[in-house]
Structure formats: structure tokens, C-alpha cells
Structure 1
Amino acid sequence: MISFFRKIRNALMAQKKWQQYLAYALGEIILVVIGILLALQLDNWNDERIEQKALKSTFGYVLEDLAKDSLQLTQLKEQRQEAVDYCSGLILSYLKGQPFSVDTRKQRLGLVFYEQKFIRNLESFKKLEVSELFESPDFYSVREKIDAYKKEINRLVYDEERLNYFIEENERSMIEDTSLLGIYEYYRGIKGYPMTERLPNEINWLGLLKGSPAFRGILLRFEDDVYKLLLPQYSVVIEKGAALKQEIKKYLDNS
């Protein structure tokens, strides 16, 4: 093909048909430019196809993380609900001056004191956000849902951290007034540790609450934060995650 075009050029030059030669040369340049543009377009199309394939693969990991998040949030919500109900029972008994009946099979006070928090799964989102297609107009709805989901998670984590910090600080005061030691001795008894003499029903809950403002503060703050902030926020994050999941599936179906 190249030798064919070269013969045409040589023939026009030999016949000194300069006008035709220039027109031919210009046409050849245009063909070369078109060829280069087509090659670049094909290369871009191929890169976009590869990027789209990688994006779909990343979406698979995102959906897996959303499922893990939903399971973790549901479990946290259930545990918080059990713990706050137990907590409210203690508070009500204290306010009424009545003995608190403890079900030793449900040691929910540990869920009040032990740090609980949502562990975020963010690796798949990080991979998604570095994709060149992430900022494309077609991706707007998914991007909007991701931002909404992460915003609600940040709010949840902030509320959890505040509550956990408050409990940790007041635990120090409970060690000083010995009320925390009494609780640990009580749980040591019902857990069946060796050389245990304390019986499960020996603990004086009303006495501990009266003698420890820090203990009462933990219970009151826990009840308030869990009912007012955490339980509703767990539900919000679960809902936002479900909405994001649906939007991702919609995007994948249309892409």
C-alpha cells in the first residue's frame, strides 16, 4: 500500500503536476491524521473498557462490604438495645428504692462497660474513589449515595467515641470509690472462676448506685445516648447502605 502511494507521488513529480501533487500530499497528510485520531480513539475506548471492567470488579467488593456493614450494624443495634434495657432497669430500681432482680444468664452490664463501636470497611470505597470514572456524570447518583452513607457513618462513629470516652473516664472514678471492684467481684462469681466464694445474688446494686455518682453517671449517660442517638443512627446507616446497594445494582444493570 505504501509503495502504491509512493508511485503516485513520483509520477506527479515526474510530470511536474505541482498542483495535483500538493493536493495529493495534503490528502495523504489528512489520511495520516485521521488514522492517528482513530488509533487514539480506539486506545481510549480500550482503556475505558478496561477501567469499566475494573470498576465493576470493585463494585463487587463494595457490595460485600455493605453486607458486612449491615450485619455488624444489626448486631450492634441488638446488643445496644439489650444493654440499655438492662441499664434502664437498674436506674428505675434505684429511683424507686427497690432491689434489682438480676438474670445471671444475661450479663448485659458488661455491654455497658466494654467498648463497643462500629468498625468501618473502607478499603473497597478507597479503590472505587481512585477510579477515573468515579467523577463522571454517569456516576453522579452512586457518588451521591456513597457520600450520604459515609456522612452518616461518620456521625455514628463520633457519637460512639464520645460515649466510650465518657464511660472510660468515669470507670477511673469507680475504681477510686471501689464500686467497680464490687462489680468485677460479682461477675467473677457468676462466671465460675476458681476459688470463688461470692454468690451471684450477693451484690448490693442499690448500695453501689448510692455510693458511686460515677456509676450512676455512666448508666444515665448510656441510657440517654443509646436511646436518643445510637439506636436511631444505626437504623439510618443501615437504610443509607441499602439505598447505596440499590443504586450500585441499578448502575451495573445500565452500564
Structure 2
Amino acid sequence: MIKFFRHIRKNLLNEGKTTKYFKYAIGEIILVVIGILIALSINNWNEKRLKQEQLISIYERIVVDIDNDVQQMSQTLEYYNGVEFIFKRVISDSITPDLFDVGLSRIITGRSVNTNLNKTGVNQLKELAVKDSLSLSVIGIYDFMDRRMVHRFETRINDESIELVNIFRDNYDWYPEYMSKTIMQDNSSVALQNYFLYSTEYRYRVISNNQLIYNNYLRILKRVIPSLKKMKEDLKLIIEKTRND
């Protein structure tokens, strides 16, 4: 093709048709420019398509991550909903020995709260540097959970649990008994039971823990879980629409 155009230019010059030569040269330049623009357009389209495919692949990963995170948080919410009545009995100073059989002695120390957020997909989304509203919402809610839920409240809940166990260790002879078995009303010492039944130290710890868990932490969970479920459905709609196009 290049030789063909070169031959035409040569003939025009040999024939002394300078004006036609310049017109032809300009036309050739225009064709070259158009060709470059078409090539760039195709290249941009391919890059956009590849980025879109990558985005959809990340969305699919995030859907799985959300399912796992919602399951973790729902289990935590279910646990604390199940023991809330014990907190209320302690706070109202209406404790009875039968509460030992449902976990009175371990409502603060019996569970470590650790939501291991699955952030692989979200981190990939950040690296892709997309700016659409759905992607930004996904990044935003995970950043919120990381700051407010995991690092703030879960750390405080776990720290208070460890602190209370250390108090038991350093101050009470029944500590080995407490650590060695599940405490029930018919298998524990009088000294141990009297502490959990009558100690203001334990009652005040429960009141503080109740404030932290039920008035702060669980309120966040109850907001976040529905938001994540809605976000998952939005992602699935985008995935389905893109796959069907």
C-alpha cells in the first residue's frame, strides 16, 4: 500500500502536476490521521472493555465477600440478642442462681468479637481506581466498618473482656476453677457464685459492657447488615446486566 501511494506521488511530480501533488499529499495526510484516530478509538474501546470485565470480576468477588461478612455479623448479632436478657437481669439487680446455667459468669468474657472483614475484592476495587457511585459506596461502607466497627468497638469489647479476666486472676482464689470448666449453679463454689450474684464490681462491669455492646456496637451491626445485603443485590444486578449484554 505504501509503495502504491509512493508511485502515485512520483507520477504526479514527473508529470509536473504540482498542484495535484499537494492536494494528493494533503489527502494522504488526512487518511493517515483518520487511520490513527480509528486505531486509537479501537484501542480505547478495547481498554474500556477489558476494564469493565475486570470490574465485573471484582464485583463477583465482592458479592462472595459480602455473604461471608454478613454471615459473621449475623452470628454475632444473634449471640448478643440471645444473652441480652442476662444483661438486663444483672443491670436491674435481679440475678438468681439459675442464670449460671445460661452463661451469667461469661457474658463479658465468654466470646471474643472479631469480624474478619473480607476485603480482597474491595482492595482490588481501590486499585482499579473506578469512580462510579456503586463502587464508591462499596469502598465507603467497608472503610466505615473498618474504622467504626472492627477497630473501635470490637477492640474495646475484647479489651474489657481481657481486663476483667486479669482482675479475676489477680484478686480471686476461684480463678483456676473459673478457667477450668463451664460454670453452672450446681458445679461451682460458693465463693465464685457469690461474686457473680452479689459483686458490685461485676454488676458495674456488665452495665458498662451493655452500653458499649447494645447501645453502640449492635446498633452499627443493625445498620450495616441491611446495607450490605442491599449492596449485594445492586452488584448482582450490574453483573447480570453486563453478562447479558
Cα shift at 1:51: 1.4
2:99 alignment partner, SS class: coil
Per the alignment, do residues 122 and 3 of structure 1 end up closer, same or farther by CA in structure 2, a change over 3 Å counting?
Answer: same
Q: Which amino acid aligns with 1:58?
A: I
Aligned equivalent of 2:140: 147
Q: Which amino acid aligns with 1:246?
A: E
- In 1, Cα distance between the equivalents of 2:222 and 2:84? 16
Q: Which amino acid aligns with 2:78?
A: E
Matched, 1:228 2:236: no
- In 2, Cα distance between the equivalents of 1:209 and 1:201? 11
Deviates more, 1:148-157 or 1:38-47: 148-157
Q: TM-score, normalised by structure 2?
A: 0.84
Q: TM-score, normalised by structure 1?
A: 0.81
Per the alignment, do residues 5 and 143 of structure 1 end up closer, same or farther by CA in structure 2, a change over 3 Å counting?
Answer: same
Per the alignment, do residues 210 and 147 of structure 1 end up closer, same or farther by CA in structure 2, a change over 3 Å counting?
Answer: same
Per the alignment, do residues 120 and 85 of structure 1 end up closer, same or farther by CA in structure 2, a change over 3 Å counting?
Answer: same
Count the aligned residue pairs: 240
After TM superposition, list the pairs within 5 Å mapping 1:201-216 onto structure 2. Answer: 202-203=189-190, 207-209=194-196, 213-216=200-203
After TM superposition, list the pairs within 5 Å mapping 1:1-255 onto structure 2. Answer: 1-92=1-92, 95-96=93-94, 99-102=96-99, 104=101, 106-107=102-103, 109-110=105-106, 112-113=108-109, 114-132=111-129, 134-135=130-131, 139-157=132-150, 158-178=152-172, 181=175, 184=178, 187=181, 199-200=186-187, 202-203=189-190, 207-209=194-196, 213-255=200-242
- On the 8 A contact 1:73/1:238 being kept in 2, the answer is yes
Deviates more, 1:224-233 or 1:203-212: 203-212
- In 1, Cα distance between the equivalents of 2:217 and 2:90? 20
Residues 11-58 of structure 1 show CA distances to partners (whole Å, capped at 9, x for unaligned) of 111012112111111211121121122112111211211111111111
Per the alignment, do residues 22 and 161 of structure 1 end up closer, same or farther by CA in structure 2, a change over 3 Å counting?
Answer: same
Per the alignment, do residues 3 and 185 of structure 1 end up closer, same or farther by CA in structure 2, a change over 3 Å counting?
Answer: closer
Q: Which runs of 5+ in 2 are unaligned?
A: none
Q: Which amino acid aligns with 1:243?
A: K
Q: Which amino acid aligns with 2:121?
A: S
Cα shift at 1:87: 3.3
Cα shift at 1:81: 1.9
Q: Which amino acid aligns with 1:156?
A: M
State the identity as a percent. Answer: 24
Q: Which runs of 5+ in 1 are unaligned?
A: 191-197
Per the alignment, do residues 245 and 99 of structure 1 end up closer, same or farther by CA in structure 2, a change over 3 Å counting?
Answer: closer
- In 2, Cα distance between the equivalents of 1:251 and 1:122? 20
Q: Which amino acid aligns with 1:217?
A: Y
Give the aligned CA root-mean-square deviation in angstroms: 2.8
